[in-house]
Structure 1
Amino acid sequence: MRTDRGGRSKTRALVTFLAVSVMSGALAAGLAVPFAGLAGVGSEKVVETVQTLPRELEIEPVAVRSRILAADGTVIATLYEQNRLPVPLSYISPIMRKAIVAIEDSRFYEHGALDLKGTLRAMLRNQTAGDVQQGGSSITQQYVKLSLVEKAKTAEERHRATAVTYERKLTELRYAIAVESQYSKDEILERYLNVVNFGDGAYGVQAAAQHYFRTTAKNLTLPQAALLAGLVKNPTGYDPTNSMARAKARRDVVIRRMLELKVISPHQANVALKTPVIDPDRVLKVPNGCASSKYPFYCEYVVSKLLQNPALGRTVKDREHYLKTGGLTVTTSLDRRIQKAAQASIDEHSKRTDSAVAAITVVEPGTGLVKAMVQSRPYGRGSFQTAYNYNVEKSYPGGFGGFQNGSTMKAFTVAAAISKGIPLDYRINSPQQINLSGKKFRTCTGWTRDPDYTPQNSTQGGNLTMVEAARYSTNTYFLQLSQRVGLCAIAKTAQALGMYNGQTLEPLDQVISMTLGVGYVTPLMLSNAYATFAARGKYCKPLLVTAVLDKSRRPIKTPGIECKQALKPEVADGVNRVLSAVMEPGGTGGRLNFGNWDLAGKTGTIQENKAVWYAGYAPNLAAAAVVADANLPYTNLMYRHTLDGRDISDPTGSGTAGPLWRTAMEGALDGMSLRRFVAPRPTTADGDRQEIPPIHGLNPDEAEDKLRQAGFDVVIADDRVRSPENEGTVAYTDPRAREGAPEGSLITVYLSDGD
């Protein structure tokens, strides 16, 4: 009996539900499922469907387009899967609300989830016509269907949400009842107008108003509202950008329906019917993605940083989806004025058709904010275009990974030397060529040497101070200085200032020629490292994303300005003095000086002229410019390469990359407040020299022991020298005892040959 009662209960539930469903049109012919569709359906199957229907619709947020902004709030890119910008009902014009209700569900405010009268009328008309002439779904039911489609994450789920089956209709029916009990009519209408597809890629009424009319949902006129309301039935077929005639015919149906319902007057209808549908020239396409941005390379690098932020999702795929659907507002550090100045430099000194490429990055000292990023080859897949960003590391598909940086590395040798107490007037005899074959250089793990290394200068040599050697970029000076300072100290200094291999993302190699350029370095990396000198030793991680807000304007956690004191201020002041000499008359960067600014910098030319650099800074800004061959295998710039449409006959850091740096920096600094470098302390300029104990005439073991006890590192030179001292005893040291040396310095001991 219990089973019979249960069966009768199920039957009553089925009969009641199906009766309401049929009467409401949920299963009516011509609406979604023909009556005949139920003929082969068993009652148990229908009962099962009815009883397992969910009672509440879990509505997920609709996809909303995100925006990337420059520092001044200007939109530089829009990202979306659906071009949508939700607005509250109060921001939607009353005439738009009336138009959509008139054509889609004129009794919307009178019935519940189901419009019995409207459904029966639609059913009769459709049966008479023999096909679907009029829909019976209420706005609530339509909203449910759209929500289910939005919620679908797979093709199978999307199919289920749109399948022509009684199960789908029954599900929509149950959901519609739940929605009507959960939300007011105005809330449902608001949600519906923000989710519906209005054709040509515009989702929601606000995006549609902007797209077709360059207006807002709040300011839509009668003919505009009628057009949008008419699009809902067939967004593609009635799209005015596809067919103006079909769009007008459908719009006029809406206007006449509004007149029939007395929503508008005959005069309003007549005026609206005579109004042109759209002005094709005013249709506004909302660009999607970084490729459509005015700053595509900067934008893509920003996106790569966002995809590393776990606050946007558990996986990269989740973050990418959220970025395109979450309605985020991403503010960046891009300064459009500085970007314009940097771009003007690229335009003045290069052409997109050049075989060589040029790139410039500008960074703000003391914050790490990346103000500008430009390059000579534009974004694209065509001829003389590229998808590679030549300014950044290879941490994402578009990152090129840098170029060897040449003598710009000497700045880190200077910083390491000053940190060890070596004075700015420290002299080293620096001949035009030097034999370093087999010479030992200290690394962080031991020693390294090159069995055959005889480097030479491309500029002036002599018995030079550190300042003079930097001014002339004397290779043999800095190689000897790096031997005395140690490669480990240079590597640690560079690493503390954010330098690493832009291809492998590993630390720079500690090789004998490190001070002349090593690994692959990017303009972003180098400009930010030099910004540390300008900021008196304060290193800040490069920062492009300064804020992220969700669609409710709530902040999302994102890395902010992150700085540390990487160098003592007095050390950075010393570096600034040394690198300022580069830009004084007679220096390799002397022709790049301008205005009353305190400027410092360094040239860089890599072996065989495959890339040339100029990196420099004022207290306000730092920038690095590079000109290079970006095609594998890299070739010498002076052989069959052009810049600004002309053959590169003599590629140099100062003459080739330098003008790009100067023009960019001159424009970027224009209008900024004049600031000065802090002069180095006398103790920094004079160094911290310790007395070298006398060891002349001692045997090597005794000499080494004495020097190590005094706090020095020691290496015994392989070659013996002429000296009155006994053979095999100490002839002299480098540096000489009378000069002294900072504690921990490398003392090279030369033994006498006895002559």
Structure 2
Amino acid sequence: MRTERGGRSKTRSLIEFIAVSVLAGALAAGLVIPFAGFAGQGSEKASEAVQSLPQELDIEPVGIRSRILAADGSLIATLYEQNRVPVSLTQVSPIMRKAIIAIEDSRFYEHGALDLKGTLRAMVRNQTEGGVQQGGSSITQQYVKLSLVEKARNAEERRRATAVTYQRKLAELRYAIAVESELSKDQILERYLNLVNFGDGAYGVQAAAQHYFRTTAKNLTLPQAAMLAGLVKNPTGYDPTNNMTRARARRDLVIRRMLELHVITAAEANKALKAPVINRAQIQKVPNGCASSRYPFYCEYVVSKLLDNPALGRTSKERDHYLKTGGLTVRTSLDPRMQAAAQASINEHTKRKDTAIAAITIVEPGTGLVKAMVQSKPYGRGKNQTAYNYNVEKSYPGGFGGFQNGSTMKAFTIAAAIQKGLPLTYRINSPQQINLSNKKFRTCHGWTRDPDYTPQNSTRGGNLTMVEAARYSTNTYFLQLSQRVGLCSIATIAGKLGMYNAQTLEPLDQVVSMTLGVGYVTPLMLSNAYATFAARGKYCRPLVVTSISDKARRPIETPGIDCNQAIAPEVADGVNQVLSAVMDPGGTGGRLRFGTRDMAGKTGTIQQNLAVWYSGYTPNLAAAAVVADANLPYTNLMYGHTLDGRDIRDPTGSGTAGPLWQTAMEKALKGLPVERFVAPKAITVKGDKKDIPPVWGMSPEEAADVLRQAGFEVTVAEERVDSEESEGTVAYTDPRTREGAPEGAVITLYLSNGRNG
């Protein structure tokens, strides 16, 4: 409801508006500026122009800077189009209010939408001196103009909002009348003080007070308030960081005007005139954007997730604008202590000038909260810097898109085998080299084979159990195991645990060598997948944004913790026991164990040493560390590459990437409770096995038929073996009849060569 005062103000403003319009036509000049085009149109045209103008000002909320916070509430970054922190008028010192009124509109509380007396004085002077020598805009008119400029979304709209035309000036007056009829003088002054530009990137009186004087709007002194009030007329020209002499002269003019209006005493004025304009050492810049953040890569990844959130706008452009003007508070999962732990590892084991890069991500099992994300190349465009985030996928501009992950894929093969019922004691004869040329491997869409594939081990082989093969990372064991469980089951489990090609965003390829590494994966992806094992099969989507609230502290919808039981707990328990053996003495990760915590992990080295990994976890935390060549084309790490300032002579997952993982995890786990893995059930260790029918002495066709009827799949070994059985008949099976095998397992037939060795 409009007040009686508001009605009188509107009536008075209308009278003043009409008077000024008539005078404008009569003088053939502007209200404050020359209107040459309008002068020849006459009073009738002016009247028509006035009637066609809009009568209400659609005021958009003032742009407010947003903040991105770490999990503990500390600041990660500030985002803004204009550095602004709105405050109420009661939070602005009385002397600041008096200063701005004295210099900009001394009769503000006495006139309506425009100051007729001031406007007429400006018109006469401008007309007499033949140009724009004096302005007559009231604070309300200035507020209208600033609002129209703030509302502009492109260069054309900004041009129209500031055009030197009679129509634009009349529109401002009409809008001013509407504003004065709806808002009180205090409300207008409050909005004006929060909107106006105070120079050097500070918008609004609170941001300006913080920027120039490291104080608040409420605590501004007379000389400080006078300096800020003087800036409004020309924020660049009177900016003390640009021209201290002009800034002082303008400030002193404001002080003398306040004295002239009896706002301050002569003693106060003299004291203020002697005060320094600013102390340059006190100027406080508010960094803008992720490039200025302590954690720029993490920050950029957070922003990319925010720009994908439809709750912030219909389009990416709208979301970006809202993010920088909505006064949002974005809380993230980043733990500064764990981030510092990971960064300490980077600092200890790498140098900026290294030709190889290193990256580490730490994730919390059971929540998916991304606690830390670091890399060896700092953020920037200069030498030994990068704008790429080596920890994340290529689905946003800064994402590098991962590296081949090598034998860390064996963890998913282990999970697939346990899920099929193969015991942890499952033995496979694993020679140093094996011929898998043209061997069939089942995929989700049929079969695949490699016409020329004879892989070998980089570690020991033999007749190994699954636990032993994991401890030594025996390639020929896991290739045969992947053939028996099928590539489809491995790919399915990996997909459920968030593994996909970080370059193409497509599922991982189902190829014969899949268990030895496939596609491109990221430290974030791999650490979160391994966190699923730590959480007993509960997969959680990686989460960096935990909450968003608007300027009124109201929550804005954002995806929260999103978990599901991707694999059975007993399967994860079995994986944990197998991968724990990797970190036992003699295992490839044995040197990386520390303390008394339960921990598990897996090394990864891809062909030609283009990248090496260590991914490991405890029940509390999971982390993945990678060392790689990040330049195209990728080259072997042991030829011409350095890490920690030294040549890499023997790149391995345990010896090269492992120390990065170890240092980061040891520091990050400090203070966290010691938790234990759940021991797997006996059936997981020993397996849910069916009897294998005896088929020795049978023809391969007959034996295959018997075994298939019993629920097994069958393959025939190429090499023939010494045996008492007739040549060409079955000598024995792998696994052996006495061992049994889970339903659906692949049984290999070894045929006799007819010689009893």
Which residue is equivalent to 2:311? 311
Q: Deviations over 1:617-657 (max 9, x none)?
A: 11111100000000011111110100010000111111111
313-322 or 530-539, which deviates more: 313-322
Which residue is equivalent to 2:466? 466
Q: In 1, Cα distance between the equivalents of 2:15 and 2:224?
A: 45
Q: In 1, Cα distance between the equivalents of 2:418 and 2:593?
A: 25
Are residues 457 and 28 of structure 1, via their aligned partners in 2, closer, same or farther at CA, if it must alter by over 3 Å?
farther
Structure 1 position 190, deviation (Å): 0.8
Specify the code of the residue in structure 2 equivalent to 1:201: G
Q: Deviations over 1:436-484 (max 9, x none)?
A: 1121111111111112111111111111111111111111111111111
User: Is the 2:364–2:621 Cα contact (8 Å) retained in structure 1?
Assistant: yes
How do 1:253-268 residues align onto structure 2 when only pairs under 5 Å count? Answer: 253-268=253-268
Q: In 1, Cα distance between the equivalents of 2:199 and 2:719?
A: 83
Matched, 1:189 2:189: yes
Which residue is equivalent to 2:657? 657
Structure 1 position 284, deviation (Å): 1.1
How do 1:164-563 residues align onto structure 2 when only pairs under 5 Å count? Answer: 164-563=164-563
Q: In 1, Cα distance between the equivalents of 2:27 and 2:143?
A: 18
Which residue is equivalent to 2:685? 685
Q: Deviations over 1:468-519 (max 9, x none)?
A: 1111111111111111111111111111110011100111111111111111
Are residues 131 and 613 of structure 1, via their aligned partners in 2, closer, same or farther at CA, if it must alter by over 3 Å?
same
Specify the code of the residue in structure 2 equivalent to 1:65: R
Which residue is equivalent to 2:698? 698
Q: In 2, Cα distance between the equivalents of 1:599 and 1:395?
A: 32
Are residues 411 and 16 of structure 1, via their aligned partners in 2, closer, same or farther at CA, if it must alter by over 3 Å?
closer
Structure 1 position 154, deviation (Å): 2.2
Structure 1 position 317, deviation (Å): 1.5
Q: In 2, Cα distance between the equivalents of 1:234 and 1:26?
A: 31
Q: In 2, Cα distance between the equivalents of 1:591 and 1:718?
A: 39
User: Is the 2:32–2:134 Cα contact (8 Å) retained in structure 1?
Assistant: no
Q: In 1, Cα distance between the equivalents of 2:45 and 2:710?
A: 95
Specify the code of the residue in structure 1 equivalent to 2:214: R
204-213 or 349-358, which deviates more: 204-213
420-429 or 171-180, which deviates more: 420-429
Q: In 2, Cα distance between the equivalents of 1:72 and 1:134?
A: 53
Q: In 2, Cα distance between the equivalents of 1:26 and 1:753?
A: 119
Which residue is equivalent to 2:711? 711
Are residues 488 and 35 of structure 1, via their aligned partners in 2, closer, same or farther at CA, if it must alter by over 3 Å?
closer
Matched, 1:155 2:155: yes
| SS of 2:663 mapped into structure 1 | helix
| SS of 2:361 mapped into structure 1 | strand
Structure 1 position 724, deviation (Å): 3.6
Q: TM-score, normalised by structure 1?
A: 0.95
Which residue is equivalent to 2:93? 93
Q: In 1, Cα distance between the equivalents of 2:405 and 2:32?
A: 68
130-139 or 665-674, which deviates more: 130-139
Q: In 1, Cα distance between the equivalents of 2:369 and 2:28?
A: 63
Q: In 1, Cα distance between the equivalents of 2:474 and 2:91?
A: 68
Q: In 1, Cα distance between the equivalents of 2:36 and 2:524?
A: 69
Q: TM-score, normalised by structure 2?
A: 0.95
User: Is the 1:409–1:515 Cα contact (8 Å) retained in structure 2?
Assistant: yes
User: Is the 1:26–1:173 Cα contact (8 Å) retained in structure 2?
Assistant: no
| SS of 2:503 mapped into structure 1 | coil
Q: Deviations over 1:558-616 (max 9, x none)?
A: 10000001111111111111111111111111111111211111111110111111110
Specify the code of the residue in structure 2 equivalent to 1:296: P
706-715 or 431-440, which deviates more: 706-715
User: Is the 1:30–1:131 Cα contact (8 Å) retained in structure 2?
Assistant: no
Structure 1 position 683, deviation (Å): 1.6
Q: Percent identity?
A: 80
Are residues 223 and 30 of structure 1, via their aligned partners in 2, closer, same or farther at CA, if it must alter by over 3 Å?
farther
Which residue is equivalent to 2:6? none
| SS of 2:627 mapped into structure 1 | strand
User: Is the 2:17–2:173 Cα contact (8 Å) retained in structure 1?
Assistant: no
| SS of 2:520 mapped into structure 1 | coil
User: Is the 1:26–1:169 Cα contact (8 Å) retained in structure 2?
Assistant: no
Specify the code of the residue in structure 2 equivalent to 1:137: S
Specify the code of the residue in structure 2 equivalent to 1:77: A
Matched, 1:645 2:645: yes
User: Is the 2:35–2:166 Cα contact (8 Å) retained in structure 1?
Assistant: no
Q: In 1, Cα distance between the equivalents of 2:15 and 2:531?
A: 78
Q: In 2, Cα distance between the equivalents of 1:714 and 1:27?
A: 104
User: Is the 2:198–2:205 Cα contact (8 Å) retained in structure 1?
Assistant: yes
User: Is the 2:99–2:225 Cα contact (8 Å) retained in structure 1?
Assistant: yes
Unaligned runs of 5+ in 1: 1-13
Matched, 1:614 2:614: yes
Which residue is equivalent to 2:577? 577
| SS of 1:742 mapped into structure 2 | coil
Which residue is equivalent to 1:671? 671
Structure 1 position 316, deviation (Å): 1.3
Are residues 108 and 75 of structure 1, via their aligned partners in 2, closer, same or farther at CA, if it must alter by over 3 Å?
same
Q: Deviations over 1:408-456 (max 9, x none)?
A: 1111111111111111111111111111112111111111111211111
Which residue is equivalent to 1:9? none
| SS of 2:602 mapped into structure 1 | strand
Q: In 2, Cα distance between the equivalents of 1:59 and 1:45?
A: 29
Q: In 2, Cα distance between the equivalents of 1:323 and 1:753?
A: 74
Specify the code of the residue in structure 2 equivalent to 1:689: K
Q: In 2, Cα distance between the equivalents of 1:581 and 1:539?
A: 23
Unaligned runs of 5+ in 2: 1-13
Which residue is equivalent to 1:743? 743
Specify the code of the residue in structure 2 equivalent to 1:673: P
| SS of 1:389 mapped into structure 2 | coil
User: Is the 2:33–2:126 Cα contact (8 Å) retained in structure 1?
Assistant: no
Q: In 2, Cα distance between the equivalents of 1:443 and 1:26?
A: 89
Which residue is equivalent to 1:3? none
User: Is the 1:25–1:116 Cα contact (8 Å) retained in structure 2?
Assistant: no
Are residues 73 and 590 of structure 1, via their aligned partners in 2, closer, same or farther at CA, if it must alter by over 3 Å?
same
Q: In 2, Cα distance between the equivalents of 1:315 and 1:445?
A: 38
Which residue is equivalent to 1:8? none
Q: In 1, Cα distance between the equivalents of 2:583 and 2:107?
A: 80
Specify the code of the residue in structure 1 equivalent to 2:384: F
Specify the code of the residue in structure 2 equivalent to 1:531: A
| SS of 2:377 mapped into structure 1 | coil
Q: Deviations over 1:169-193 (max 9, x none)?
A: 1110110000001111111111111
| SS of 2:423 mapped into structure 1 | coil
Q: In 2, Cα distance between the equivalents of 1:467 and 1:44?
A: 96
Are residues 16 and 96 of structure 1, via their aligned partners in 2, closer, same or farther at CA, if it must alter by over 3 Å?
closer
User: Is the 2:601–2:616 Cα contact (8 Å) retained in structure 1?
Assistant: yes
Structure 1 position 121, deviation (Å): 2.7
Q: In 2, Cα distance between the equivalents of 1:25 and 1:322?
A: 43
Q: In 2, Cα distance between the equivalents of 1:30 and 1:544?
A: 56
| SS of 1:519 mapped into structure 2 | coil
User: Is the 2:67–2:330 Cα contact (8 Å) retained in structure 1?
Assistant: yes
Structure 1 position 706, deviation (Å): 2.6
| SS of 1:302 mapped into structure 2 | helix
Are residues 623 and 24 of structure 1, via their aligned partners in 2, closer, same or farther at CA, if it must alter by over 3 Å?
farther
CA RMSD of aligned residues (A): 2.0
Are residues 223 and 536 of structure 1, via their aligned partners in 2, closer, same or farther at CA, if it must alter by over 3 Å?
same
User: Is the 1:361–1:391 Cα contact (8 Å) retained in structure 2?
Assistant: yes
Are residues 133 and 687 of structure 1, via their aligned partners in 2, closer, same or farther at CA, if it must alter by over 3 Å?
same
Matched, 1:39 2:33: no
User: Is the 2:28–2:38 Cα contact (8 Å) retained in structure 1?
Assistant: no
Are residues 17 and 220 of structure 1, via their aligned partners in 2, closer, same or farther at CA, if it must alter by over 3 Å?
closer
